[in-house]
Amino acid sequence: MFKINENYQKLPGSYLFSTIAKKVSAYTKANPEKEIIRLGIGDVTQPLAPAVIEAMHKAVDEMGNADSFRGYAPDLGYEFLRNAIAEHDYRSRGCDISPEEIFVSDGAKSDSANIQEIFGPDNRIAVCDPVYPVYVDSNVMAGRTGVYDAQAGTWSNVIYMPCTMENNFVPEFPKETPDLIYLCLPNNPTGTTITRTQLQEWVDYANQVGAVIIYDAAYEAYISEPEVAHSIYECQGAKTCAIELKSYSKNAGFTGVRLGYTVVPRELKCGEVSLNHMWARRHGTKFNGAPYIVQRAGEATYSPEGKAQLKEQVAYYMKNAAAIKNGLKEAGYTVFGGVNAPYIWLKTPEQMTSWEFFDYLLEKANVVGTPGAGFGPSGEGYFRLTAFGSYENTLAALERIKKL
Ligand code: MLT
C-alpha cells in the first residue's frame, strides 16, 4: 500500500487566504444583495502598465511567426531579463550581483515555498511572528517543524521572533540559534520595516552563527524612506549568508501574470558546496522556465516608460495606504505600517479577537480584511487591510468602518 507524506496531515486547517475566500463566498451566497469591498488578500486592482502591455503584444506576435517563435525558455531565465535585473535592481544600487546569480521563476510565492528543499531536514527555521504563512507551511510539508500545539498556535521546532507594537515590530535575535532565518522586509503582514543599519546587524548575526537568511523583498517598490534598504545585498557580507526573493506581483501588478526571481550568490556556500549550483540543479530539474511573453513583460518594467508608469501605480496604492491610515486614526484605531508597504496593521477593538473582528467587519460593514491570528500567534489582536483596492472602494470601505 502506498504511503502519503504524513507531514501534510499535520497542517492545521486550509491555507489562510483559502479559508477567507470560503468565508466570504458563504456570506455572499447568503446575502447576495450586499456589495462586498475586498481589502483582504494583497491582490492588485490596477491594470498592467501600457509599456508592459505593449511588450506582451509584441511577444505574442513573435510567437505567431515561425522565425521568432520560442519554445522552452532557458531554465534559469532569458539573458535579456537576467541582465536587466542585474543592472536595474542591483548594480544601479551599488550591489554586486551578476546575471548568473539570478534565477527567474513564476513568482516569489513558489520560490519562498520551494527554497527550503535545498536545506537538510534537521535545520531549524526562525520566523517573525506574525509571518507570511507560506514559509512555515512549506517547512511543515517538509517535516521540519516538529509538533503543532493547537492551543498556542506554534510548532515545537520553529523559532518564533515576535514582532508586536511592544518592540516596534522589529525582530530580536532569538535565544536559540537558527539555521534558516526568514525575513520579509518591508513586512507582510505588519506593513512595517527596519532600517539598513538594523538589517546589517541581521547579516552580521547570520554570518556569525552560520545561518542563511531567506530575504523576501516582494514589497521593496513601496519603500519611501531613505534609511530602508531595497535589497539585503546593500549590507556588507550579505553574499555569504543571504538568498533574496523578488516578485513582480506588487510592483508591476503581475499577480495574475506570474513572474519573480531568486538571487543565490556564488559566495553562498556550505563548506565547499555552492548553494547557487544546488538551486540551479533544482530549478533545471523541476521548472521549465517562465513563459517568453511574461519575461518580455518583466523586461518592460525596466524601460524608462515602464519605470515611470510603475512609479505611478505604486503612488496610487500608497495614496490608498495614507487614506486608510488617516481614516482609521480618525475613527480611533491604533494603526501601523502603510509608509514603506501597502499594508495597514491595526489593533482590533478591545475584547475582540482578530477573527471576531473579521466577522464583525464582514457582516456589519461588508468589508473583507485579514485577521492577524492567521499569520501567527503574535498576530492575535491585530488586523490587516491592504492598500491594493481602487481608491473609490478604499474610501467607501473607510466610510463604512467609520460608521460602525
Ligand atoms: C498576501 O495577501 O499576503 C499576499 O497577497 C499573498 C501573496 O502574495 O501570496
Model pLDDT for residues 152-182, shown as the tens digit of each residue: 999 999 999 999 999 999 999 999 999 999 9
Contact 188, 169 (CB under 8 A): no
- Whose C-alpha lies nearest to ligand 1, atom 9? 109
On whether the CB atoms of residues 128 and 299 are closer than 8 A, the answer is no
Q: DSSP class of residue 123?
A: P
| Cα Rg, the chain, nearest whole Å | 21
Same domain, 336 and 347: yes
pLDDT of 75 above 90: no
If asked whether residues 20 and 165 sit together in one domain, one would say no
pLDDT of residue 14 exceeding 90: no
Å from CA of 109 to ligand 1 middle: 8
- The pick from 43, 190, 216, 258 for probing ligand 1's pocket by mutation, whose C-beta has the most ligand atoms within 8 angstroms, reads 43
User: What mean pLDDT comes out for the span 347-371?
Assistant: 96
Mean pLDDT of 34-49: 96
Unique residue bearing C-alpha cell 556569525 = 208
188 CB within 6 A, ligand 1: yes
In this predicted structure, what is the pLDDT of residue 13? 83
Quick: pLDDT tens for 367-383: 999 999 999 999 999 99
Kindly report the CATH number assigned to the domain that includes residue 229: 3.40.640.10
Q: Is residue 5 part of a domain?
A: no
Per-residue confidence (pLDDT) for residue 246, from 0 to 100: 98
* Best mutation site among 38, 41, 44 for ligand 1 pocket (most ligand atoms within 8 Å of CB): 41
CA of 43 to the centre of ligand 1 (A): 7
What is the domain range of residue 252? 53-303
35 and 91 fall within a common domain: no
For residue 15, the model assigns a pLDDT of 85
258-281 pLDDT, tens digit each: 999 999 999 999 999 999 999 999
Q: How far is the CA of 243 from the centre of ligand 1 (A)?
A: 20
Q: Are 246 and 316 part of one and the same domain?
A: no
Whether 248 and 315 share a structural domain: no
Residue 274, pLDDT score: 98
113 in the same domain as 205: yes
Measured from the Cα of 370, ligand 1's closest atom is 2
- Nearest alpha carbon, ligand 1 atom 4: 42
> What pLDDT score was predicted for residue 90?
98
Q: Is residue 199 located within the same domain as residue 67?
A: yes
Q: What is the pLDDT of residues 288-346, one digit of tens each?
A: 999 999 999 999 999 999 999 999 999 999 999 999 999 999 999 999 999 999 999 99
Decide which of 286, 303, 320 is a domain's last residue.
303
For residues 59-74, average pLDDT: 97
Atom 6, ligand 1: which residue's CA is nearest? 42
Q: Is 42 in the pocket of ligand 1 (CB under 6 A)?
A: yes
Per-residue model confidence (pLDDT) at position 145: 98
124 lines ligand 1 (CB under 6 A): no
109 CB under 6 A from ligand 1?
yes
53 CB contacts (<8 Å, ≥6 apart)? none
- Residue 115 reports pLDDT greater than 90: yes
* CA 133 to ligand 1 centroid distance, Å: 9
Q: Is the pTM of this model over 0.90?
A: yes
Euclidean distance between CA atoms 132 and 292, whole angstroms: 29
- Nearest C-alpha to atom 5 of ligand 1 is from which residue? 42
* Average pLDDT of the chain, as a whole number: 97
Residue 224 has pLDDT above 90, yes or no: yes
Q: How many domains does the chain have?
A: 2
CA angle 332, 334, 340 (to 5 degrees): 125
Instruction: Decide if 159 contacts 124 (C-beta within 8 A).
Output: yes
Q: Is the pLDDT of residue 119 over 90?
A: yes
- C-beta 112 within 6 A of ligand 1: no
Phi-psi region of 268 (alpha: psi -120 to 50; beta: other; left: phi over 0): beta
The atom number, within ligand 1, closest to the CA of 134 reads 9
Alpha carbons 372 and 354: distance in angstroms, whole number:
6
**Closest ligand 1 atom, CA of 41?**
2
Long-range contacts (CB closer than 8 Å, 24 or more residues apart) made by 17-23: 17/41, 17/370, 19/374, 20/358, 20/368, 20/370, 20/374, 23/358, 23/362
- What is the C-alpha separation between 162 and 377, in angstroms, rounded? 9
Q: Is 137 found in the same domain as 40?
A: no
Ligand 1 centre to CA of 42 (Å) is 5
- 209 plus 347 within the same structural domain: no
Ligand 1: which atom is nearest the Cα of residue 43? 5
User: Where are the alpha helices (H) located in 151-262, listed in sequence order?
Assistant: 196-209, 249-252
